[in-house]
A and B are shown apart, each in its own frame.
Chain A
Amino acid sequence: MMDVFSLLGHGFAVAATPMNLFFCLVGAVCGTLIGVLPGLGPVATISLLLPATYALDPLAAIIMLSGIYYGAQYGGSTTAILVNIPGESTSVVTAIDGYKMAQQGRAGEALAIAAIGSFIAGCFGTLVIALLGPPLALMTQKFASPDYFSLMVLGLVSAVVLANGSAFRAVSMIFLGLLLGMVGMDMNTGEARMTFGLIELSDGINFVALVMGLFGVAEVISNLEGVSTRIVNHSKIDSIWPSFKVLKGAWGAVTRGTLIGTIFGILPGGGATIASFSAYALEKRIAKDPSRFGNGAIEGVAGPESANNAAAQTSFVPLLTMGIPTSATMALMVGALTLHGIAPGPMIISRQPDLFWGLIASMFLGNAMLVIINLPMIGIWVRLLNVPYRILYLVIAVICAIGVYSVNNSSFDVYMTVGFTLLGYVLRKLDAEPAPLLMGFVLGPMVEENFRRSLITSHGDPMAFLQRPISLALLLISAALLISIVMPSVRKRRVEVFAE
């Protein structure tokens, strides 16, 4: 226990250099910005800024990119409360009661509780990473290739759970992603695979081009469909300081939301969105008077906002300790770490303690910065909503193009983005989610590597995956998760949750 705190102290020393503090602030501001702006999610933004971090020191880069992710959780609630437009999917439920509160002239109260709840949850989630990280990493170090393979399977299955809609189609998207991940040089023989004779593809499909096309540009096109609605903001914010009575009322919801979010973030198939939905459902269920919900109940803001922030922090646990991403954003972090020559996995903590503890310390600092960025400066963010989309989309398009181009300074990557945008747009129209595809794409090479290694060591016996206890357990959990989605009773509940 004492050990953790001394290491954390070391982390603060690393994170508090002017350089790292600056990039932490940049990440937090960018995150708030995209959280406020609807139609630009953290996945697209992180991929957008990925090339720009190339010149940075790895720690500064990761600090900034993770700041964008958890910063977006703060910003998303602002628009949800003020104008009933959730900036992020994680803030969808916040809009239900938050907007009602704003209409009743209690916008300041709602914003303050959202920010305070987020801060408490964010700090608690970060503490959980610090406490759970080292023992989990130690455990993962004992993993052999079959265990890793099964772990990846679990990671992929979690992408199915997260996806909205039919599980079968989500699985097919994973396989499409896995196949796309195979493009490029074969790791063992060095032979070019599925490159269609293009030298540009020998290193594989450019990650940034894929993400930017599927998530960023395809999203822009979707937003341009139809006529844009002018956002009108009626609610005035008079005081951002909540009364003691409000604080007392929200306290329980913040605590429960934080715990739910912490657990959902770690679990495969959890994630911030589901955590916020579950927290809302729980608050409604245990409330003495459930009819208050939907009419401006403070718990309906406090619970989900705490849950999504706690989950945003703890979803770093599987990534930093086992090297598996449990969401599309974490898949991007794998890409970011790899870009900087760091293999995500259990070795990060022991081999790069500066990176691990520095990142954790930066999360505490970042959460503190976010409260300041979001509360006293709320007026600036609200004014940003007045920038019309007809100007914004031009800016996004140009930054995307430069971003993709600058990864390898290659026009080919820009053309690839065009292709993936088309694919992303078609998938949208087919109601297929691109997130499982991204998970498959990122994990593809690792899945193949561990599959091949496992079968070589077991002399071709596929039972190797079932004979090792760790591997067997992981596969059983995956199977149980998959079955639970297909089961009619759970399926019905899942539809309800997504439909709300």
Chain B
Amino acid sequence: MKSLAWRGNIDFYSGLLLVAVAGVALLYIRTLAIGTVLEMGPGYFPLGLALVLLGMGLCLLVKGLLVSGPPVGMFYLRPLFFILLSFAAFGVLVERAGLILAILVQVAIAHFASRETTWRESSITGVALAATSAVVFVWLLKIPVELLP
């Protein structure tokens, strides 16, 4: 487009995101009864919303292709990856290995999200968090979760 190194801009990618979401929604809405204005089925309102979203997404997409706009912000993969992974690990472990282990593993993984963490500080934080959570959430607020495997 503008040059060989055209990387797209925020409008283009926002449009792309919206079109993708609308597309997935429309695929699913196909299986729902649409109904008529007088007798609206479960799919009537979602269909309308998805179509509007699709239209807006296409507008943004075209605008992004034609008009130059601000570029997409830099993605920092290190914090993104490790924070997401730490949450997933918590989710997997909390019911299988108990709350204490889930917290310790989450802190251990989240530790890598920042370059400034030190193992000493993170270990102390992790142990303190596990202990406090055990007291506050399980003992005081009585969340039904096992502490240990």
Specify which of B80, B95, B133 is in contact with A411 (CB 8 Å cutoff). B95
Residues of chain A contacted by B25 (CB below 8 angstroms): 179, 194
Residues of chain B contacted by A421 (CB below 8 angstroms): 83-84, 87
Residues of chain B contacted by A412 (CB below 8 angstroms): 91
Task: Give chain B nearest CB distance to A380 CB in angstroms.
Answer: 19
A486 at the interface (CB under 8 A from B): no
Cβ–Cβ contact A430 & B122, under 8 A: no
Indicate with 1 or 0, residue by residue over A413-428, a CB within 8 angstroms of chain B CB atoms.
0110110011001101
Residues of chain B contacted by A431 (CB below 8 angstroms): 10, 70, 73
Query: Given contacts A193-B32, A390-B114, A431-B70, are A169 and B60 in contact (CB under 8 A)?
Result: yes
Interface range, A side: 35 or more
Indicate with 1 or 0, residue by residue over B8-36, a CB within 8 angstroms of chain A CB atoms.
00110110011001100100110011001
Cβ–Cβ contact A395 & B113, under 8 A: no
Name the residue of chain A whose CB is nearest to the CB of B83: A221
Residues of chain B contacted by A411 (CB below 8 angstroms): 91-92, 94-95
Name the residue of chain A whose CB is nearest to the CB of B78: A224
Task: Give chain B nearest CB distance to A457 CB in angstroms.
Answer: 11
Interface positions of A from 424 to 469, Cβ below 8 Å from B: 425-426, 428-432, 448, 451-452, 455-456, 459-460, 462
Cβ–Cβ contact B18 & A176, under 8 A: yes
Cβ–Cβ contact A406 & B143, under 8 A: yes
CA distance A179 to B19 in the complex (A): 13
Indicate with 1 or 0, residue by residue over B109-144, a CB within 8 angstroms of chain A CB atoms.
011011111100110011001000100010001111
A364 at the interface (CB under 8 A from B): no
Query: Given contacts A176-B53, A391-B125, A415-B88, are A169 and B14 in contact (CB under 8 A)?
Result: yes
Residues of chain B contacted by A415 (CB below 8 angstroms): 88, 91
Cβ–Cβ contact A452 & B56, under 8 A: no
Task: Give chain B nearest CB distance to A100 CB in angstroms.
Answer: 30
Pairs A–B under 8 Å by Cβ, sample size 23: A169-B14, A172-B56, A175-B53, A182-B45, A189-B33, A193-B43, A194-B29, A221-B83, A225-B74, A228-B116, A388-B116, A390-B118, A394-B122, A395-B129, A401-B90, A406-B141, A406-B145, A417-B87, A421-B87, A429-B73, A448-B45, A452-B45, A456-B38
Interface residues of A (CB under 8 A from B): 52, 55, 168-169, 171-172, 175-176, 178-179, 182, 186, 188-189, 191, 193-194, 196, 217, 220-221, 224-228, 388-391, 393-395, 397-398, 400-402, 405-406, 409, 411-412, 414-415, 417-418, 421-422, 425-426, 428-432, 448, 451-452, 455-456, 459-460, 462
